[in-house]
Every structure is written in C-alpha cells, then in structure tokens.
Amino acid sequence: MPPHITIPAASPTSALDAPSCVDTSVIETSMQYVDNTENSVDRQSQDRDDDVASVASTTRYEHEPFETFQHKVAEFATEHFHRNPRDISIHQMKGGANNRVVGIKIASKSKKFSLHWFLCCCFGARKKTSATRFDSYIIRIPRVEFSGDSRVEDMAESMKRELAILKTVSSRVPLPVPKVFSYDLSTENICERPYMIQTRLPGRNLRLELWHQLNMQQKQCVAKCVTSLAAAIASVEGPAGDISPENLSRPSSSPICVDTFSTPAYDNQPTCKPALARNPIDHLLEQCERWRACEKATAWCFEEIWDGFAAISRALEKRGFLHGPCVLVHGDLMPYNLLAEVCNETDVNITGVLDWDLAVIAPEFMAYRAPFWLWSPEDMDSDNEDDENMANFEPVEEEGKILKQVFLENASEKYKFYAFAPEAMLARRMFYILKIGHPGDWEFEEAKSVIREWNELHPEDGVQSVLSGTDSESDEDQDENE
C-alpha cells in the first residue's frame, strides 16, 4: 500500500510577473474544508494553544497586542477579499522566530439563486442544511524591527526569496505545500511591512499536537509517509545554490533560476551570481575557493580549513558520495514542519509540508538525512535532538525498534547509504560551513571538528596535517603574543 500523502488538486502557480504588491486570487484557490464536530474540537484546542504562544511572542517582540491588531487585520481582510465583515473571523496562531502569523477564516459565498434552486425550494427538496464551508488563510508578517531604507529593502528581498521558493516548490514537488494567495513587498499597508497571505492547509502539527495521540499502527503509517518525503523533494534537480528571487517573475515551466550561495562583498565582486550546472565535486571545490578568495580580500584567511574541506570533498568523491546530481533539499524536514490528519485506526495523511525558507539545491547527501526522531528516546536531552549520531542509535524500547524497522524496509538503498554513513554525516556538517562560511567562533570550531573527525575516520586521507598546522600556528601566535 502506498504512503498516505494528501496531494491537493493541481492549480496554477502563484504570482507570475509580480510587482511589489500582488493579488493572485484569480489564479489561486484556497483549500476548502468542512469543520465537522471532531475537527472543530481539535481546532478549538489548537487555537487555545496558539493564543498562549502568540501572547508570549507578542510580548517578546514588542508587537501590537492581538486585541487591537485583530481589528486592523479584519478591516484589511474585508477590503482585500471583498467580503462582508460578518463572514470573516480573525484568530491568533503560533508564530515562529521570524514571522508573526495570524489566521483568517472566511465563510464561503452562498450559491447564486437559480431555477434549479427555486424548484427545489418549491417542492421541498432543500430540507437539509449543508454545513458552512470556510476558506482558511494565514498572513505572515516579518517580526524583525527595521529602520532606514536599506533595512526595508533587505526585508523585502528576504520575503521575495521566500515567495520564489514557495512558487518553485509548489509547481514541481508532488506534496501539499502552502500556496501564496497574495503578497505585498512594500510597507504601505496595514502591517507597515512586507507580508504574504497563504492558504491554510488542513491538519494538525505532527510534533506539537498529534504524535502522542497516535496508536502504534498510525505511527507506523506516519513513519512510512515520512520516509517517502525526501525522495519526492529530491526529484527536483538543478545547479547547487540558493533558489533565486528571479523565479518569482518567470513561468513555472521554465528552468529553475539558482544563485550561488552569498559571500560578503569584496574587490567589486558580487555577493552572489547565477549558478552554473556543475558536478557536486566541482561545486564543493568552488565553494572552498570562493571563501578562500573572500577571506584573503577581507580578513585573515584560514587556508587550512579550506585545504581540509577540499581534501574531504575529493575523498567523498572517491568513495562514491558525490556521484548523483544536485537536488532540492527542504533544509528542516522535521515533524514540527509537518501537518497530518488521522483517517482511521491505522491510517494517517500527511496534509502539509511547511517552512521552506531553508530550501536549497545541494548534493544528494544533503537530501537524505535519516528521520531519526522516529526512533530516538522520548527522554533524549534537547541538546542531542539534532545530533545525527542518533541515526545509528539502536532503540531499546519496542516502539523505537518498530519505527526504525519501518524506515529500513521502506527507504531506498541510496537513502540508507546517505542516512547512516558517517562520511555523509560529516559531509552535511561541512556543507553547512561551505554555505555560510565561518563568521563566528562556533562555525570555526565546527569546521575544525569536521576535519579532525574525518581524520579519525580515514587517517589514510592525510587530512591530519592540515588541522595540526592550524593548531600549531595558533599556538605559535599565542606564544608570540605572550
């Protein structure tokens, strides 16, 4: 039986040839659903949780309280959707670190009078009253405070990239992804900053709301569904890099525009440029050289780091970890970014894959990270939740054993190769540094750790001398300073 993943009916992609303020209602439709009694109770419980979280977030980020802000949103929704205020309800939702989120629910318009309707009324055929249907949306508003034109532009560019990612993903990935209904990249609006309106997908948050309510058969169904997600996302190929904002104004049928990962500006070099199709090994080596050149031009260059990463990249190529194409990677494919609905005592649907802000095109080893949260211990320290070494953890409890076995039985050989190999785990940690550089102490120490751990794993590759050189130079510098 195939995994239970709800795929919405195909719809046109959003925001073609988009200016700064766009209403895509003509080419986008919301996902409609009927609130039955069970879903209504679940939604009420979810809304109460959202209320608590939203109040805390509002205080933390010094936003306008929801009690007054909701009236502005209601007025905005009335004008934006051209509906009667009585048809619109506004409610708090749990936002994230980067965005304030507000829910908008609009009662669907009644069907127009017709001869058929009139005859049915006359002959008593319309005895049953159908449940009210709703169109549900969310409005996402950046939390960050700003001042000056450059900060406004930065905020608009960030949202433009998020919009481009959603457009690119929704038109290519066969999964339920939020659709953008409309957006505004300016500050001339009720929010006084850029915003986007998305369709609200049905379902409940898998981690925060649903997981602990599932029985064992339902959890096995979820494990099977989750295992299928990575390959579905990785079916999209392209040059390695960031999904470009240029995609927002291009037809969805055209090739994906990808930019190289950004570096600080130096020597009149652009921070990024259109990425060219390259083999994974060439991309990794190019990133090493880009950061080397940037550091030489702007600050002290840690040659040993980039030499070490280049050596590891060649070793990965030799061992078969770079033989595939560069593919789409979600970047945070965790249960808190999944929505799901219970179908029956054995089946669960994945109804939404959320938060694509970190999505990039990258070598395949980045796409096939094990969903080890499925079999990690319930009492695991939060500091270890992201530790990939847990992928090779052999569960003690029966539930963990069963769920890991579901993954092993349903994952492809390629998936398991990348999921469990320590080389692939180190490659993922290295790629993170190659993407952003090492702007702080943590990144620098992480880069050295990757090189050290690779040497411990494969001393025959001769990477040790690179790291020891870094340490010895640091010691010499310290001695001279003393």
CATH number of the CATH domain containing 70: 3.30.200
Amino acid identity at 434? L
Q: Check whether residue 193 and residue 218 sit in a common domain.
A: no
Residue 147 has what pLDDT?
A: 56
Please write the tens of the pLDDT for every residue from 250-260. 998 899 999 99
- Which residue is listed with tokens 């050596």? 311
Q: Which residue has the higher pLDDT, 100 or 330?
A: 330
Residue 387 lies inside a defined structural domain of this protein: yes
Closest CA to 240 of 322, 157, 297: 322
Residue 296 lies inside a defined structural domain of this protein: yes
- What value does the mean pLDDT take over residues 399-415? 98
Please write the tens of the pLDDT for every residue from 171-197. 999 999 999 999 999 988 888 889 999
Residue 3 lies inside a defined structural domain of this protein: no
Q: Which residue has the higher pLDDT, 160 or 467?
A: 160
Residue 57 has what pLDDT?
A: 52
Q: Name which of 209-218, 272-281, 296-305, 472-481 the model is least confident about.
A: 472-481
Please write the tens of the pLDDT for every residue from 234-270. 999 999 999 999 999 999 889 999 999 999 988 888 8
Confidence check: pLDDT of 3 > 80: no
Residue 116 lies inside a defined structural domain of this protein: no
Residue 24 has what pLDDT?
A: 44
Whole-number average pLDDT of the chain: 83
Burial class (CB in 10 A: 0-12, 13-18, 19+), 187: middle
- Which of 202, 235, 252 is at the close of a domain? 202
- Supply 397's token pair: 């409890």
- Which of 171, 202, 233 is at the close of a domain? 202
Residue 187 has what pLDDT?
A: 86
Q: Check whether residue 85 and residue 224 sit in a common domain.
A: no
Angle formed by the axes of helices 216-233 and 413-420, to 10°? 90
Q: Check whether residue 25 and residue 157 sit in a common domain.
A: yes
Closest CA to 197 of 22, 431, 445, 454: 22
Residue 30 lies inside a defined structural domain of this protein: yes
Please write the tens of the pLDDT for every residue from 343-363. 999 999 999 999 999 999 999
Whole-prediction pTM value? 0.82
Instruction: Return d(Cα 277, Cα 240) in angstroms, integer.
Output: 7
Q: Name which of 15-29, 304-318, 439-453 the model is least confident about.
A: 15-29
Beta carbons of 120 and 126 less than 8 angstroms apart: yes
Q: Check whether residue 186 and residue 215 sit in a common domain.
A: no
Q: Check whether residue 171 and residue 217 sit in a common domain.
A: no
- Supply 465's token pair: 């001398």
For the chain, give the percent of residues with pLDDT over 70.
77
- Supply 238's token pair: 């392209």
Which one of 144-153, 183-192, 307-316, 465-474 scores highest in mean pLDDT?
307-316
Q: Which residue has the higher pLDDT, 298 or 28?
A: 298
Residue 124 lies inside a defined structural domain of this protein: no
Residue 53 has what pLDDT?
A: 47
Q: Check whether residue 196 and residue 293 sit in a common domain.
A: no
Residue 432's pLDDT band, with cuts at 50, 70 and 90, is: very high
Residue 123 lies inside a defined structural domain of this protein: no
- Supply 170's token pair: 């929704």
Q: Check whether residue 235 and residue 90 sit in a common domain.
A: no
Instruction: Return d(Cα 403, Cα 217) in angstroms, integer.
Output: 10
Q: Check whether residue 248 and residue 233 sit in a common domain.
A: yes
Residue 268 has what pLDDT?
A: 85
Residue 113 has what pLDDT?
A: 55
Residue 11 lies inside a defined structural domain of this protein: no
Confidence check: pLDDT of 124 > 70: no
Domain that holds residue 146: 21-111+133-202
Instruction: Return d(Cα 197, Cα 34) in angstroms, integer.
Output: 21
Residue 95 has what pLDDT?
A: 74
Please write the tens of the pLDDT for every residue from 37-67. 344 445 444 554 454 444 445 545 456 888 8
Residue 154 has what pLDDT?
A: 82
Q: Check whether residue 149 and residue 217 sit in a common domain.
A: no
Residue 378 has what pLDDT?
A: 82
Amino acid identity at 9? A
Residue 7 has what pLDDT?
A: 44
Domains identified in the chain, total number: 2
DSSP state of 35: -
Closest CA to 310 of 288, 280, 279, 340: 288
- Which of 150, 174, 202 is at the close of a domain? 202
